[in-house]
């Protein structure tokens, strides 16, 4: 009997080995579940919330798919394999043998066949909000009240923690902001309106129309699920470096670069209101991760969501684009000297090396490579001031590198 059972198990193993959906892995069998329709790749709100709220979003995503695969295994998968094996036995006239060992075959399948989903199949688009905290969380997000009914602008003072001040500085427009604020608060009725850029005009309109006392600087994106997880991972990677309520006390050095086309505005997530969402960025923006409060899936926002309040038709979300994600590093980095390949032009921590690499590339010195000295890997490449982190977008970095080599050959 024991020998017959052993022979039956060998037959089962052979049948499994001939199955196109199954791969053998050291005596175990891996069965990839291929979603039948696009709808089968759409995660529900509870699963998305689990990923969004996890400190390890990628592990949470894997856990969600593991549970889904397990449900498939017990609800459908094992029975499907049993039917296939039974049919193979029938073709060989061994129906009686199958019936005698059916329970043992089922136990073998339960023990040795792992069902799984390929994460690459789950790319559903998500409306995502990037919520800023430039230190204004300490002030209940009231530091954007500069021109609206709740204005806190007194005697020309703008608090350093104001996100509007931070944004204007990043755009090289702090002077324009101060000019337009002084114009509105000038006691002279005949004070001439200053000439300011279209960007400052858009900031002006956003500030005037802020119909709340609690306004948070917000960026909108439509990201697929893997992109969203990459964003959450980068934030989680420096969580313990960014615990301080004071920006100066946060030591994370990761950054997210967004396209100038990205929708940007002021939102009150507590009372369900805000402003126009019409700040027009004149150039791409690098956002330090230490200044990102969170990146949320809008429909799962525990407070008011942007879509629920504004009812956007889609375009404001779709304009948003993530150009690069650089995660925090404590490793030593070095810049390769563009005039002497293999020689380090600069060596040190990210805070010292990365700004220099960007500056050199902006001066037309070609593609500037940054290497991770600690683990010997490529870290980033800079081209005309734009960073391409290998971990986030290796293909893009390689294209820049290839373009640089072509330039050298053409000289």
pLDDT in tens, 314-368: 899 999 999 999 999 999 999 977 665 655 578 899 999 999 999 888 887 678 8
Cα separation, 207 vs 125, whole angstroms: 31
* Single pTM value for the model: 0.89
Cα separation, 48 vs 58, whole angstroms: 12
Q: Please provide the size of the chain in residues.
A: 411
pLDDT above 50 (res 217)? yes
Angle CA(305)–CA(308)–CA(310) in degrees, nearest 5?
A: 100
Largest CA distance in the chain: 105
Please enumerate, as own/partner, the contacts of 141-147 that have beta carbons within 8 Å and a separation of 24 or more. Answer: 141/214, 141/215, 141/216, 142/213, 142/214, 142/215, 144/207, 144/210, 144/215, 144/216, 144/217, 144/266, 145/210, 145/213, 145/215, 146/181, 146/207, 147/181, 147/184, 147/204, 147/207, 147/208, 147/210
The top-scoring range by mean pLDDT among 228-232, 299-303, 356-360 is 228-232
pLDDT above 80 (res 162)? yes
Q: What mean pLDDT comes out for the span 96-125?
A: 91
Give me the phi and psi of 130, to 5 degrees please.
-100, 115
What is the tens place of the pLDDT at every residue in 5-41? 556 678 788 888 887 778 887 778 999 999 999 999 9
Residue 52: what pLDDT?
Answer: 96
pLDDT above 50 (res 389)? yes
List residues bridging with 369 in a β-sheet. 381
pLDDT above 60 (res 2)? no
Angle CA(341)–CA(346)–CA(349) in degrees, nearest 5?
A: 130
Tell me, what DSSP letter sits at residue 193? Answer: P
Confidence band (pLDDT; 50, 70, 90) for 296? very high
What is the tens place of the pLDDT at every residue in 126-152? 999 999 999 999 999 999 999 998 887
Cα separation, 72 vs 61, whole angstroms: 17
Question: Could you tell me what percent of the chain has a pLDDT over 70?
Answer: 90
Pairing mode, strands 378-383 and 368-372? antiparallel
Tokens of 46: 């509870």
pLDDT mean across residues, the chain: 89
pLDDT above 70 (res 409)? no
Cα separation, 357 vs 336, whole angstroms: 9
Please enumerate, as own/partner, the contacts of 9-15 that have beta carbons within 8 Å and a separation of 24 or more. Answer: 9/104, 9/105, 9/108, 11/88, 11/89, 12/85, 12/105, 12/108, 12/109, 15/84, 15/85, 15/88
Question: Could you tell me what percent of the chain has a pLDDT over 90?
Answer: 69
Cα separation, 325 vs 40, whole angstroms: 29
Confidence band (pLDDT; 50, 70, 90) for 1? very low
Cα separation, 352 vs 225, whole angstroms: 33
Give the lowest-confidence range in 170-179, 193-202, 342-351.
342-351
Residue 7: what pLDDT?
Answer: 64
- Residue of 78, 90, 92 whose CA lies nearest to 29: 78
2: CB partners within 8 A, 6+ apart: none
Residue 16: what pLDDT?
Answer: 85
pLDDT above 60 (res 410)? no
Cα separation, 373 vs 356, whole angstroms: 17
Q: What is the CA radius of gyration of the chain?
A: 28
Question: Helix, strand or coil for residue 41?
Answer: helix
Domain segments of the chain: what residues? Answer: 2-121, 126-326, 333-410
Tell me, what DSSP letter sits at residue 157? Answer: B
Contact between 342 and 318 under an 8 Å Cβ cutoff? The reply is no
């Amino acid at each position: 009997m024991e020998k017959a059972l052993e022979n039956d198990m060998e037959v089962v193993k052979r049948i499994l080995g001939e199955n196109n959906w199954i791969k053998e892995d050291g005596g175990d069998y891996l069965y990839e579940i291929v979603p039948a329709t696009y709808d089968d790749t759409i995660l529900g709100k509870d699963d998305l919330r689990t990923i969004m709220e996890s400190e390890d979003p990628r592990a949470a995503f894997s856990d969600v798919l593991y549970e889904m695969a397990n449900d498939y295994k017990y609800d459908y998968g094992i029975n499907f394999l049993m039917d296939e094996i039974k049919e193979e036995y029938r073709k060989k006239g061994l129906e009686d043998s199958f019936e005698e060992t059916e329970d043992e075959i089922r136990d073998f399948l339960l023990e040795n066949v792992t069902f799984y989903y390929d994460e690459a199949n789950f790319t559903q688009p998500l409306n995502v909000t990037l919520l800023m905290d430039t230190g204004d969380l300490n002030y209940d997000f009231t530091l954007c009240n500069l021109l609206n009914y709740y204005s806190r602008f007194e005697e020309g003072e703008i608090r350093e923690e104001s996100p509007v001040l931070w944004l204007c500085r990043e755009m090289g427009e702090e002077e324009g902001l101060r000019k337009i604020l002084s114009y509105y608060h000038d006691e002279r009725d005949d004070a001439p309106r200053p000439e300011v850029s279209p960007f400052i005009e858009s900031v002006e309109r956003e500030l005037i129309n802020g119909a709340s006392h609690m306004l948070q600087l917000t960026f909108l994106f439509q990201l697929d699920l893997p992109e969203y997880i990459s964003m959450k991972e980068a934030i989680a990677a420096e969580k313990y470096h960014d615990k301080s309520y004071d920006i100066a006390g946060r030591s994370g050095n990761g950054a997210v670069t967004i396209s100038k086309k990205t929708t940007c505005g002021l939102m009150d997530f507590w009372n369900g209101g805000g402003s126009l969402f019409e700040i027009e960025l004149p150039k791409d923006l690098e956002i330090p991760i230490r200044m990102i409060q969170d990146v949320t899936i809008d429909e799962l926002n525990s407070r008011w969501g942007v879509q629920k309040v504004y009812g956007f038709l889609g375009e404001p979300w779709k304009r948003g684009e993530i150009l690069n994600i650089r995660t925090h590093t404590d490793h030593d980095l070095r810049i390769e000297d563009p005039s002497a390949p293999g020689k380090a032009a600069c060596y040190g921590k990210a805070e010292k090396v990365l700004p220099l690499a960007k500056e050199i590339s902006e001066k037309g010195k070609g593609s500037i490579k940054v290497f991770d000295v600690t683990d010997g890997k490529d870290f980033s490449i800079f081209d005309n001031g734009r960073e391409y982190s290998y971990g986030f977008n290796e293909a893009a970095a390689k294209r820049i590198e290839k373009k640089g080599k072509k330039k050298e050959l053409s000289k």
